[in-house]
Structure 1
Amino acid sequence: MNFPVLSNLLLLTVLFSYFDLKPKQPEQDIFSHGKLKVSENKRFLQYQDGTPFFYLGDTAWELFHRLNKEEADKYLEDRAGKGFNVIQAVALAELDGHTVPNPYGYLPLDDLDPAQPAVREGADNDYWDHVDYIIDKANELGMYIGFLPTWGRYWHDEESLIFTPENARMYGEFLGRRYKDKNIIWILGGDREVTSDLHYAITRAMAEGIKAGDGGTHLISFHPRGARSSAESFHNDDWLDFNMLQNGHSPDYTNRYSKTLEDYNREPVKPVFDGEPLYEDHPLNFDAARQGHSLAADVRRTLYWNLFEGAFGHTYGHHSIWQMYDPEKKRRPVNNPLMSWKEALDQPGASQMIHGKKLMESRPFLTRIPDPSIIVKGEIPTSIPGEGRYRFVATRDTDGTYAMVYCPVGRSFTVNMKVIKGMKVKAWWYNPRNGEANLFETFDNVQDERTFISPDKGELTDWILVLDDAAFNYPAPGKE
């Protein structure tokens, strides 16, 4: 017997016991809360047992199509480690996923017919076995797959059209039946605008087929064209459980991220979030020659613009990762990616998304509402609350126990203190770059208005002001 090894094991056991340092449990324990559903107030997602669910997604459109098992493991383990809980991926992928095989030489369909998925006997023997492997791996790591059955080109673009209402229903039923017991969220659409009766018929038939196959056990949404919303086409359809925006690849609030609040205010009420905002390292407005590429600061702004204006969660994306760009594979790059997908895993924006999730979860979750009235308009409204890249936005809970203001720049602003009901207020600055909170003041709530300025005056460095009713003794922002 190796006594040094034994003594080390005993020492670890004692340490775990003394400090309550329990080995980390598998993240799939989150699935023990039951299936996902829409909250009673129709604003959020939650589990069957009432536990809130903050959707923190990553965009991996080509995951099923382009990555082998080892690569998929690397990607999924990285994203789980960074706190993502939904991975958005497409079965019939955009980049010729219908005619270009996956890394193992398999295609998804026989004869390009959605009614004939290319399923073969045996394990690891077809395209769908590889999809199964990736879904199982994601679930094992505690993540859902935001599952797009197809990219939009195959039901929309005349030169790529392979769907009819009839085979869309059959394909949907195949998927629903096959993945009935997996932890997934269905996302129809695929970056196309619904412009004809045929488009409506195909989409609705696919939703009908999925529900027939899985018994309605999973939530369904729709991924729209850029600067559009699923609500524009399907808001009143019963199968659409929540609305998805694609606010898209602009760095400006105006006419893009303002649409989140527009969808929040629609009737009947449905949850809303942005399933495709500006990606990190993406050509701004698809015009790199004039505007360059986005930075982590740009994708942080979209996160808080969306959350503070009513979104129940958020999706991050990186321009190299969605397409799984790998120069060693000699694939044609789409829109000038700056690095390989493997390098892009560690870009700063990805690691900073979790701070938004933790901030929202550190305060009452299901009662949070957007409230533009928190910010007092300045004499020049384009300064406060601002426009373009410099828009200030605010949120609070319905009971007035806390309020938050997102400050994209260091500029003096005034808060309507009447939204906080308590007699004493604790004021924090929360750093969205590292998740650290600083309690900088506690004061009597006797003024109708109070002026603040974030720690980095005049800089393009964002901060979040958190105001708490001191009587509730909330933890530091971002802490449990």
Structure 2
Amino acid sequence: MKNIRIAISLLFCLVASVAHAVEVMEVHEVGFNASKKYDNPYLDVDLWVTLSGPRGETYHLPAFWDGGDRFRVRLVATSPGKWSWSTGAATNDPGLDNKSGSFSAIAATEAQKKQNPNRRGFIRPRGTTLEYADGTPFFFTADTVWVAFTKIFPWQREGIAGISFQDYFAERKRQGFNGVNVIASYPTDTTESAEAVWAREVRGQKISETGLTPFKIVSDQADYTQINPEYWQETDKKMKYFSDNGFVPFLESVRRHEIWPRKSTAQKNAFTNYTRYLIARYGCYNMIYSWLHWDTVNQVYPDWLPLVENAHAYLKTKNGTGQLPYGQPRTAMAYGSSLQTWAKDDPELLDLHNVSNKYRDERMYLWLREIFRSSPQRPAINVEPYYPAVPVGSVEGLDSTEMAQFQMYGSVLNGGFGGHAWGDAYFGGIAFWIDKKTPIPVDERQQKHALTKWKSAGMGHLKDFVLDEGHDYRLLKPASDTHLGDSHGDMHALAISKDNKSFALGFCMKGFPVTSVKELPPNREYQFEWWNVEDGGWQASTICKTDDSGTLTWPNTPDATRNWGYRIRLKDLPEGN
């Protein structure tokens, strides 16, 4: 009987131990109470925590002020086993220094990983593509909802968007999206002050659901030296929702129009504190971090560059690299190409390239090919392509849906193998067209209508096309300008395997004549399959043969009134090559 009681006791202890263990990639939050009083804890306290794992992992993580005397750090175990953490002795505050602890982590099951791919680990660059830590390919398939953290998309109720935050993103998840472009805050668009930059009709909307602003408002202006933790506490639940549902945010600090660089030295220096705060609060999640949302006019870039470089230099002094806590990719939205701007001035800022906004048509493909062929190689994404509701970059004879498809497939096949973002009309809350005079019709703003307009669910089909098991897209290189008989000025697109023969993926633009793929092995048979960009799926498979010069002529498309994707594979080539 005694032995039975001992066994039961041991079993109980084991169950209790497992119950209190966290899972790998689950956030383990630790709180501290400062002993000292601070005039401004946001600026005055610089608390970092060292996290050590069972496989020799070491991470240096900033803590964040959460109001009053409370500080928090969000820890993530990246492998199963026992983890330990310590605060060191840098703050000279007995309530914060020399604190330590440990916790255990258990591995996620394959079923859990399938349900939520974020359990596969933090995403990282792999050559010109992205992957989870376990090596599974990650293809960023994003919606553009810059205002997702504001009251425009409210929590569990309909608001200005006409749909709740959860219902909107649950539908995007069902459609195959796994990412979202979002701006963390809009400091100067929270009041009716003269420094606000958006149309007056939509000012004051980009605040929390309870009316809170990201920074304290002083004399009707945002004071960047005084953060408002209560605002960010409301944002916490939305970031957690993204993580729990397999989304990877493209998280941007602020939009370039914020007048931050024109403020006092103290205000400008506070951008570094803001960067630390965002990383401390949300660096526990899978994300792509963008130092800044720079989407137009070259004149703002010289003012913002020093602020971004100062923030990066600060992080580098803390962790030696300037990286995010768990190595998530960093970029900075570029007005054009990040290779020609940020990377030229400070290449250490970027782990991932992007093209954005300027032109929004086939001219973006030149930048993407240039990025792919540059050294060192980094993944690239078109993060602000053609917006279907805004006629910027249109091609004659194509409607908005067809233009969006053109940007989706054309951007990826010309080198944007990191993924793609779907663009919509609301652009962070704007209610007027670019002329600032004509109102955007309510059903064309980014509300619940965006879920069905312009066949946006086709983004899920793009992801299926890229990740199809019949090929390995990680072996591709852009070839529109090298292997197409006639791209008709980049209206058609092609990416071919690096061996120049095994397989290729392409896109055929409606209204432009069929062409050919050249410089293949001569007199070889290829399986040619058309891809339905609107509904997904392969169809009309046929066998084509290259001629004596190695040229393979396309068969006619199944329907000349639509855009089509396609794949060619050397006959009898093993699947996955």
Further displaced range: 211-220 or 70-79: 211-220
| Structural RMSD (CA) | 3.4
- 1:25-424 aligned within 5 A: 29-39=116-126, 42-65=127-150, 66-70=152-156, 71-93=164-186, 96-97=189-190, 100=204, 101-111=207-217, 112-119=222-229, 126-155=230-259, 158=262, 164-190=267-293, 191-192=295-296, 193=298, 197-208=302-313, 212=318, 214-215=324-325, 217-225=327-335, 227-229=336-338, 231-235=340-344, 236-248=346-358, 250=360, 252-253=361-362, 255-285=363-393, 295-312=400-417, 313-320=419-426, 322-323=427-428, 338-340=443-445, 341-362=447-468, 363-372=471-480, 375-377=483-485, 384-387=486-489, 391-399=491-499, 400-409=501-510, 411-416=513-518, 418-419=519-520, 423-424=524-525
Aligned to 1:12: none
Letter in 2 for 1:172: T
Indicate if the aligned counterparts of 1:221 and 1:243 stay in contact, CA closer than 8 A. Answer: yes
Deviation at 1:152, TM superposition (A): 1.0
Indicate if the aligned counterparts of 1:44 and 1:366 stay in contact, CA closer than 8 A. Answer: yes
CA distance in 2, matches of 1:222, 1:175: 15
Indicate if the aligned counterparts of 1:428 and 1:467 stay in contact, CA closer than 8 A. Answer: yes
Can you give the 5+ residue segments of structure 2 that lack an aligned partner in the other structure? Answer: 1-110, 157-163, 193-203
SS for the counterpart of 1:113 is strand
SS for the counterpart of 2:349 is coil
Further displaced range: 214-223 or 402-411: 214-223
Letter in 2 for 1:127: Y
Q: TM-score, normalised by structure 1?
A: 0.78
Deviation at 1:113, TM superposition (A): 2.7
Deviation at 1:412, TM superposition (A): 2.8
Aligned to 2:535: 434
Aligned to 1:454: 556
Higher radius of gyration, 1 or 2: 2
Indicate if the aligned counterparts of 1:424 and 1:469 stay in contact, CA closer than 8 A. Answer: yes
Cα–Cα, structure 1 residues 299 and 232, in superposed 2: closer, same or farther, change >3 Å?
same
Can you give the 5+ residue segments of structure 1 that lack an aligned partner in the other structure? Answer: 1-23, 120-125, 378-383
Aligned to 1:20: none
Indicate if the aligned counterparts of 1:27 and 1:140 stay in contact, CA closer than 8 A. Answer: no
Cα–Cα, structure 1 residues 109 and 130, in superposed 2: closer, same or farther, change >3 Å?
same
Letter in 1 for 2:128: R
Indicate if the aligned counterparts of 1:90 and 1:151 stay in contact, CA closer than 8 A. Answer: yes
Deviation at 1:464, TM superposition (A): 2.1
Letter in 1 for 2:123: L
CA distance in 2, matches of 1:326, 1:26: 40
Aligned to 1:7: none
CA distance in 1, matches of 2:113, 2:431: 30
Letter in 2 for 1:77: A
Higher helix share: 1
Cα–Cα, structure 1 residues 51 and 26, in superposed 2: closer, same or farther, change >3 Å?
closer
Deviation at 1:323, TM superposition (A): 3.4
CA distance in 2, matches of 1:218, 1:115: 27
Indicate if the aligned counterparts of 2:260 and 2:267 stay in contact, CA closer than 8 A. Answer: no
CA distance in 1, matches of 2:398, 2:564: 22
1:410-439 deviation per Cα after TM superposition (whole angstroms, max 9, x unaligned): 5231221x4369943211111111112124
1:89-120 deviation per Cα after TM superposition (whole angstroms, max 9, x unaligned): 1122388147733221110002423332101x
CA distance in 1, matches of 2:183, 2:265: 16
SS for the counterpart of 2:348 is coil
CA distance in 2, matches of 1:315, 1:284: 16
Letter in 2 for 1:391: M
- How many residue pairs get aligned? The number is 424
Q: TM-score, normalised by structure 2?
A: 0.66
Cα–Cα, structure 1 residues 420 and 373, in superposed 2: closer, same or farther, change >3 Å?
farther
